[in-house]
Every structure is written in C-alpha cells, then in structure tokens.
Structure 1
Amino acid sequence: MKRFDIKVDKSSDYWCDFEGELCVYYNYTWNKESFLNDRINFIKKYIELTEKYKIAVPINSFDVLDLETTSLYSLYKKDSNYYFPSYLFLNSNDKVAQKIVSIDPLITLENSKTKFSSHGSIPIRIELIMREYETELICYIDNDIFNLWIDNKKTKRDPNIGGKGFWVDNSELAYLNTPRLNSFLRDLKKLCFDYGANKFEFENLGLNDFSEDGVLFDREVIYYEDTVGLLMPHQKIVKITI
C-alpha cells in the first residue's frame, strides 16, 4: 500500500532525473516558410517570456544568435556546455530563488564552472531545430521536481522514509515553482501560434500528473495568477499585473 504523506525537511534533496525514456515533450512545428517570415521577432518575444517567468532563461544576449540558422543554442552556450537556468526555490524558507542548471546533482549557474557535468539533469530544456522543410520548438522535461509528490530512485532507496511505495511530499516547493512553469507553457503555446506554428503535440512517456496544459495539482492545472496572491513578497519573482 502506497503512502503519499512522507514529510521531509527539504524535498528538493529528492529531486532527480529519470533514466531511460521517462519524459514529457511539448512540440511546436512550423513549415519552413511561415517561421522564416518573422523569426527575429519571435525569438525576441521568446526571450522576453523566459525572462518574465524565469524559466530556461538565456545566459547570453540576443546578439550572439546565429540568425542564419535561427538556433537558440547560442543563447544557452558557454564554452563547451549548454546551460538552461530556471529560477527555483529549493526550500520553502528560501528568500530568493536560485538559478538551477542541474537538479541531479543539484547545481546553480554560479557554481556550474567547477561542478557542471553533461550527465546532470536540466530542469527544463528548450530546443529550436531547423530542418529542410520545417522548424520545431521542443520543450523537454525528464524529472519530477514540479510534482506535488515524488516517487523515484532516490525515495525508493532511502530507508529513512520507508523505501519502495512511499512518496515524498513536494507540495510546498511545487506551489512556489510549478505555477510559473504552467503559465510559461501556456504563454509559450500562444506565442508559437501567434507566430504561425501550425502543429502542437504533447507526448507523455510515463511521468505522473503531466498534461498538455502543464503539471496537474489534483487533476487541475494551477497557474501563477492563481497563487500569486498567497505568496510572500520575496516569493513573487514574476513581474506581472494581476
């Protein structure tokens, strides 16, 4: 019998990536001509969106982009690595959200120079891929950091919380982090279709509580606007008018 009420001091200690094929994809597709018509303005709006919600925020300026290929990789590349920092609260008592580039092991952008490994798990990765006949934007998540409950290899092998069948309560951090992700995914979808995307696909390969509209909290998608009124001033890291 499973238990869903295991409380720990810091649930982010149990965040981890999933091995194998467990993941979710949010895919947007353009035919080549429709995307090329306004690619520069789209990328500028995309950057504004990432900076608004502090999700997959670029580490380089727009000026470094290779506009001939319209790749977003230049925004995230430093030396030989790619960094997709998202601002996350790691503890419910945190006064600031940290720029996380890997959650397993847990690494911030500031200490990534010495600790970053290509095997680390990125909170959310976003790729813009140009092909001969189409352009595809892919949002990729392969972890459980945004879920209310955590059930993974770390929880299963920890004898202090009960091991197999015991799910760790991640709700305090989820309410601080996930509504921003959901609002970001919603607004990204609108942006893509505003700029001519003609296809959207959502694929869930085995993760719990993910939907095409975002992460579910008890079968409901909660957006940042739904929770901001309950947050402390230092937790309101999105600058929006409610």
Structure 2
Amino acid sequence: MEAIKLNNSSDFWYYHDEYELGTWSFAKIRNADFIDLNLFIKTYISITEKYRILLPTSKNKEFKSISDLYTIEEGGTKKSIYKSLVFLKKRDEIVAEELFDLRQIKHETDEIEDLGINPVISNLSIANSSAISLPGSYISVNTDGFKEVLDFNKDDYTLYDEKVDQNNIKKANISGIDNSDLMFLNTPRFNSFLRDLKKLYSIFNSEIVINKNNTQINENGIFIGNEIVYYEDILELIDAKYQIVDMSINIDFEELKNQFNHEKRKERIETLKSEDKLIKEFLEANYKNLSILSWEQFYNSFVKEAFTMSDDDYLKHLKEVRCPFGFIGRASEAKKIYENLKDIEFFEEDVKKVISVITSGDFLKNKNLSLMEWLNDKFMIDFISKKIEGKSILDIAKFEGGNNFIREKIIEMKIFKLF
C-alpha cells in the first residue's frame, strides 16, 4: 500500500477537526516557594514567539495564568483563542498561515464569528487552587495534520484535487494521503516547542503525562517514522523561505534554573541571613546610641510645627525662622504624607515626620519618584559601609540603630547643604 500525493493535502485536515493527535499535560506545582510567576509567563511567551506556536491573543499587560494569554472578550462573551503559525497547501503552494480554527483551512470565506473555534493546537490552563501554585497546562494537537500520512478511510471524502479521480482512489490499494511535506515543516517545530516547555516546567519538577494509548506520540512529541525529530535537526534542509523559527530568541534555561531552583533559593536565604547579621552588628556598634545635633535642630525648627499649624500659619513660621529650604511644601501636604507613613512600624515618630516634610514639596517630583519608590530605592543612600550596600530606607529601619543611620544619611543629603 502507498500514500497518494495530492496538491493540497491540508484540505483533508478539515475532516479530522475532532481528531486529537496527542495531549501533553504539565502538572501544576503546589506550595512552591519563591516562584516568580511573572518571569515564568515571560519565558513562556518567549517560547511561543520563538516557534510561532500558541501565540498570545490577549492584549492585557498583566497575566496571572496561562489561560489569561488566550482569553478575549467580545460583546460581553469571553472566548479562548489559540493562534499558531501552521504550514498548509493553498493553491498548490506551501504557505504559513496564522490559524486558530481548523475550519479556516476549508472555509476561507466564512466569517470568523461563525466558526466553531476548534484550534489546531490548544493550551488549557489547569486552574490554580492557591496563589502560590504554578499553573499547569494541557497542550493538545487537535488534528492528524502533523502526521506523515493522513488516514483515508471515509467514503464521503471529497477530494479537492481535480487531477485525481475519486473512484479510482477508492479502488486503488492506498494507505492514505501523503502529508510528508507539511509534516516536515510543522512537526519538528512543534517538537522543539514542546521540548522547551518541558525544560521550563521541569525547573519546577513538574511531571509530564501523555496519552499512553497513542503510538504516534511520546512524552517528547510526535514521531516522524520511529523517532522524534527536532527543528534544529533539519534546519539546514529547510528552504530559507520556510524558516519561521526566530533563532535569535535565546532562552537560557540554566540561568532560569539558577533563579527558580529551590535549593539555590534556600542558599540565598542563608546568605541574606548572614548579611543581615553583619548589618545588625555594624549598626549596633556605630549607630545604636548616636546623637545627631543637626537632625534635632532641623526637626525642632522646621518640622514639628507642620503638624500643629495651618498652611498659612506654617508658612508664616517658616518665614520668621528664615527657613533656607525651598523643598518644604504645605503643612497640609506633610500631614497627608504622614498618614501614609504612620503605620510603618519600623520608622520612629520623628523620622516619619521629617520624611513627610521633606517630601511635601517638589523633592520627589524632581526625582520622578513616588514616596514608596523612594523609600524602597536600593540606591538612594550613599552608603558608608559595603556591609549595607543594596539596602533601602525601609530595609535599614528594621535593624536596631537603623533609624539613627537613616537620620544621618537624610541630613547629609545635598538638599541640606546650607544647613
């Protein structure tokens, strides 16, 4: 028996729109500490963009799960759209088309809204049961069009090739329809796509489960003959006009492993604990009982009254004491900022009020920062000791002696150079 070669073999994919060639399931990870979901989603998108498979449909900028990438809303109704670039034969030529519904292959003139949304390849996200669970996936190839030979066993097939006599085909000893040229372009690319997804999920020790009853696939992808072939294996054999994989997208899985690996995260925690111990010792030795005269003068002369006076009275007071600082704003603004700081338990009261006053004017606006961005900025302090490098005001405040360190560093800022 032999497979018959037709000019437009992809026409037959339509008849197999309910055929599921294979499903690969990636289990989600429960209670996985230190998972950076944003980095996971970003890497997943890079894989889809590299192989042009399961390209995101949604235009949302924030995604909390895989399903968010493919969910769109039209007229109050949500749809899941899975777009992939797939090679087809159209008008006797091989072309790559962005498909999300198998019926697009057959009915080119149909309105998209009328289609049944039966994706060539889909990715159903396993719903999270916990905020710290990594979402799993069901990757499905929903057509036999990635096979080398398409089954030919239905009497009601209509052949869309004028050069072939259907009656003669039925009488002939034919095993199926030759789909090798499209399989050559689609299947290795899918296998490489699946391989990279496996690498991403394996970083979290996620197991892969497949349809064991299907001899045409295994955990690594879809067989070509008796082996799994990857895109890189045949790249030199592919005509340049069909090389649609973006080889410039390089995903460093070893680096990702270093970022995601739980053991290395544990090591990092121990390192941070060791660093914190050194910081604690440094602050206690140098700042625990430190008295800063210039801080006390600034607080008593220019800060306290902002929380007892009206805007007009406070402005009058600043003029009377000849305040040299143009960064101080209205008393009402200082009070409003204080409301955002009063519940930060690590800041002592005078520190909260000084920060409120110095940020009440144009200080933050000139830096193009919000209050919390400034307080969390790891580089805003000119550190005396390398032992405290990379810590923000909020980080330092948690240590004994930390508030004195902050007092000294704030009063040493350039805005106080006239004081």
TM over 0.5, yes or no? yes
Structure 2 Cα separation of the partners of residues 173 and 85 of structure 1: 18
Structure having the higher strand fraction is 1
Q: Which runs of 4+ in 1 moved over 3 A?
A: 16-20, 107-115, 152-159, 163-166
Q: Give the Cα separation in 2 of the matches to 1:26 and 1:155.
A: 32
Assess, with a 3 A threshold, how the Cα gap between structure 1 residues 152 and 6 changes in structure 2: closer, same or farther: closer
The aligned residue for residue 189 of structure 1 is 198
Q: CA RMSD in A?
A: 3.1
**More deviation in 100-109 or 184-193?**
100-109
User: Counterpart of 1:75?
Assistant: 69
Residue of structure 2 in register with 1:221 after alignment: 228
Residues 62/154 of structure 1: CA separation in 2 closer, same or farther (3 Å cut): farther
Distance 1:209 1:183, change over 3 A: same
Give the counterpart of 1:132 among 126, 129, 151.
Answer: 129
Of residues 5, 15, 28, the one that matches 1:7 is 5
Instruction: Identify which range, 108-117 or 129-138, moves more after superposition.
Output: 108-117
Where does 1:106-117 land on structure 2 (aligned, <5 Å)?
Answer: 106=105, 113-117=112-116
Offset at residue 165 of structure 1 (A): 6.2
Question: Where do 5+ consecutive residues of structure 2 fail to align?
Answer: 160-165, 251-419
Aligned 8 A contact 1:6 1:168 in 2: yes
Distance in structure 2 (CA, Å) of the matches to 1:108 and 1:59:
22
Match of 1:145 in 2: 145
Contact 1:88–1:97 under 8 Å retained in 2: yes
In the alignment, which of 44, 47, 50 is matched to residue 46 of structure 1? 44
The 1:215/1:115 distance shift into structure 2, 3 A limit, reads same
1:157, distance to aligned residue in structure 2 (A)? 3.3
| Residue-pair matches, total | 230
Match of 1:27 in 2: 25
Provide the C-alpha distance between the structure 1 equivalents of 2:61 and 2:87, rounded to a whole number of angstroms: 30
State the AA in 2 paired with 1:224.
Y
Structure-1 separation of matches of 2:139 and 2:237: 28
CA distance in 2, matches of 1:180, 1:122: 17
Pair 1:238 & 2:245 matched: yes
When Rg is computed on C-alpha atoms for both structures, the one with the higher figure is 2
The answer to which of 123-132 and 149-158 deviates more is 149-158
Q: Give the drift of 1:166.
A: 3.3
Does structure 2 retain, via aligned residues, the 8 Å contact 1:28–1:201?
yes
The question of whether the paired residues in 2 share the 8 Å contact of 1:58 and 1:84 is answered with yes
Give the Å deviation of 1:114.
Answer: 4.2
Structure 1 unaligned runs (5+)? none
C-alpha change, 1:205 and 1:115, in structure 2 (3 Å) is farther
Q: Say which structure is richer in helix.
A: 2
Identity %: 27
| Deviation readout 1:171-192 (Å, 9 max, x if unpaired) | 0011011111010011110011
Q: Relative contact order: is structure 1 or structure 2 higher (C-alpha 8 Å, sep ≥ 6)?
A: 1
* Residue 202 in structure 1 maps to residue 210 in structure 2: yes
Q: What's the TM-score once normalised by structure 1's chain length? A: 0.81
Distance 1:50 1:30, change over 3 A: same
